[in-house]
Amino acid sequence: MSLEASNMSRVDDGLRSRDDGAKYRQIMDGARSVFLKDGFDAASMNEIARVAGVSKGTLYVYFDSKEALFEALIREEKREQAEQTCRFDHSNRDVETTLRNFGERLLDRMFRPASIAHVRIVASVAAKFPSIGRAFYEAGPKIGYQRMADYFDAQVEAGVISIDDSFQAARFFCDMCKSNFLPVLLCVEEAPSPEVIAAHVKAAVRVFLRAYPLLKGA
């Protein structure tokens, strides 16, 4: 192959790659809109294709089923949320402030209407499609637990706090923060205000540090 032909091939590959990325983005944006509006069961590939502005044939090139499309959407959404929420500076020894900031970010994200809608949809289909439930957990909560556990490990090594099982401790803290989520999920209560969220997280931090007290002199 000549140098010119080789260069043209690379250009063509780059254009196809950009086109594929744009088409994928169209599909994901369309799917998000349809799933949030109609739920999983009522959503159809026909409607997703229409809203995304692609043909049904193109849609099936990317995803062979509605289940696969929803799973991919959930993994993408939860991964992005985890990246935005689960930020920990391992050099920061102020555990109390770190936990409060994280807890408030977590609940601010969880109580957004789209986040609540995703939880409801996933809960409604996970028994029938366990891979969807697994995608939600692995791309979201599990990443958060592990990143918090890594932060705890850094503080244990620095002599700031004593924790035997950092992953379990991370789950305990997150579960305490999320203890006011169920009434909202079940439409019993309205989403709390930022002030209520802050007070709730502050109480969770206080209880957590009683179970895992900071070491003297830390």
How many C-beta atoms lie closer than 10 Å to residue 106's C-beta?
A: 23
> C-alpha distances in angstroms, 218 versus 97, 156, 210?
14, 11, 15
CA distance 65 to 68: 5
Tell me the pLDDT tens digit for each residue of 164-218.
Answer: 999 999 999 999 999 999 999 999 999 999 999 999 999 999 999 999 999 976 5
The structure tokens listed for 200 are: 């709730």
Spell out the domain ranges in the chain.
1-64, 67-218
- Secondary structure element (H or E) that encloses residue 44, with its range: none
The structure tokens listed for 50 are: 């229409």
Given CATH 1.10.10.60, say whether it is the number of domain 1-64: yes
- Name the β-bridge partners of 161: 214
Of 177, 86, 65, 44, whose CA–CA distance to 132 is shortest?
Answer: 65
- Secondary structure element (H or E) that encloses residue 93, with its range: none
CA distance 6 to 68: 36
Tell me the pLDDT tens digit for each residue of 180-194.
Answer: 999 999 999 999 999
Q: Considering the chain, what percentage of its residues have pLDDT values greater than 90?
A: 81
CA distance 35 to 37: 5
Name residue 88's amino acid: F
The model's pTM is 0.82
CA distance 52 to 28: 8
Q: Which residues in 85-169 belong to E strands, given as ranges?
A: none
pLDDT at position 16 is 42
Given CATH 3.30.1340.30, say whether it is the number of domain 67-218: no
pLDDT at 120 over 50: yes
pLDDT at 13 over 50: no
Question: Which ranges of the chain does DSSP label H, i.e. alpha helix?
Answer: 3-42, 45-52, 56-62, 66-85, 95-110, 113-125, 130-139, 141-157, 166-177, 182-185, 194-211
pLDDT at position 192 is 97
Name the band, by pLDDT with cuts 50, 70 and 90, for residue 84: confident
Of 146, 195, 200, whose CA–CA distance to 176 is shortest?
Answer: 200
